[in-house]
């Protein structure tokens, strides 16, 4: 598989496989999809403890290693520390749980899932609020980051990453990072391109992993709003797709990779799993088509994060300041 170089020279595949099954897939179904993805040629797997399926995915990895289907060094596996594990010592415990569940001795990248310790109960609705939630704190974030840096020193993590950041948060914490982030995960799809944040990451040598690359049609109900748009129905995306004779979802993936981002789609369908991987090689979008795709921007953030708001906050937009 083709890859992008990270700032230290290591390579990450240009497309990965997400493992967040939302409210629609059980851990067993997600792990079965991971097995299909391995057989199809995926070599990047984006995991997280909060997804509740790392133990099942670990069994898939273990079988693949034992059978000789793949070697550990051939895959790039990520995981993330969840919001209620930011206290001193908790990130280390969280990583070790993930390693045990994933049947791995190290992860290729470990992310701070959200830049604050604001927890919500699994499956809560969009109006749920935790009274202990609070705004972003540079000092709290860097406390977590320093613990992750120590995990790097121990060889348990090869790269560090941030997720759900903003430019202001990124610029606040970068001067305090001994180990620079190799990766940033951000919502990225044609109707929400985050150009300024994307360009900032590129300028700092940080590779972008794009989640919700297809506009996340299976996202949880709490993340749905009446004003949301469907990326695969946008006229710019449809027009480019017709020229190439492909489904609009595949156009979204081609666009992301040609931008230099790493999309991480999930699918439970073997046909779609294989098609998503195959589409990013060959039959590239032209410069004019890439320019047209830029016009698909609608400012449509799908994962608004309102369940993380703190007392006194009245809009999800405050999370992204």
Please say whether the dihedral angle defined by the alpha carbons of residues 216, 28, 32 and 34, taken in this order, is positive or negative: positive
229 φ, ψ (degrees, to nearest 5): -115, 160
- Indicate the SS3 state at residue 149: helix
Q: Which residue in 25, 42, 51, 110 is the catalytic one?
A: 51
Which residues, including other chains, have CB under 8 Å from residue 213's CB and lie 6 or more apart? 188, 189, 252, 253, 256, 263, 264, 265
DSSP 245-279: TS-HHHHHHHHHHHHT-EE----S-HHHHHHHHHT
- Whether 106 is catalytic is no
Place of tokens 């997720």: 163
**Cα-based distances in Å from 124 to 23, 82, 154, 222:** 11, 16, 36, 8
- Indicate the SS3 state at residue 77: strand
CB 185 within 8 A of CB 211: yes
The residues that are catalytic are: 51
């Amino acid at each position: 598989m083709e890859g992008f170089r990270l700032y230290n020279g290591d390579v990450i595949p240009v497309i990965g496989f997400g493992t967040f099954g939302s409210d629609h897939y059980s851990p067993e179904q997600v792990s079965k999809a991971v097995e299909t993805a391995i057989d199809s040629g995926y070599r990047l797997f984006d995991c997280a403890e909060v997804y509740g399926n790392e133990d099942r995915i670990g069994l898939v990895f273990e079988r693949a290693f034992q059978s000789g289907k793949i070697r550990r060094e051939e895959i790039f596996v990520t995981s993330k520390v969840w919001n209620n594990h930011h206290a001193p010592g908790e990130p280390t415990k969280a990583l070790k749980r993930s390693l045990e569940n994933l049947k791995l001795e190290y992860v290729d990248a470990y992310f701070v899932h959200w830049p604050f310790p604001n927890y919500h109960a699994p499956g809560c609705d969009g109006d749920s609020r935790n009274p202990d939630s609070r705004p972003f704190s540079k000092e709290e974030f860097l406390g977590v980051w320093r613990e992750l840096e120590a995990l790097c020193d121990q060889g348990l993590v090869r790269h560090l990453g941030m997720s759900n950041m903003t430019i202001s948060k990124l610029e606040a914490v970068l001067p305090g990072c001994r180990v620079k982030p190799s990766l940033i995960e951000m919502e990225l799809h044609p109707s929400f391109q985050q150009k300024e944040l994307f360009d900032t990451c590129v300028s700092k040598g940080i590779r972008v992993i794009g989640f919700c690359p297809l506009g996340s049609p299976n996202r949880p109900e709490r993340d749905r709003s009446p004003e949301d748009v469907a990326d695969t129905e946008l006229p710019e995306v449809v027009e480019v797709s017709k020229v190439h004779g492909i489904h609009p979802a595949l156009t979204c993936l081609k666009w992301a990779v040609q931008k230099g981002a790493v999309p991480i789609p999930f699918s439970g369908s073997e046909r779609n799993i294989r098609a998503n991987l195959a589409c990013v090689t060959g039959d590239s979008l032209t410069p004019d088509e890439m320019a047209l795709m830029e016009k698909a921007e609608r400012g449509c953030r799908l994962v608004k994060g309102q369940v993380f708001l703190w007392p006194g906050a009245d809009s999800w937009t405050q999370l992204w300041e």
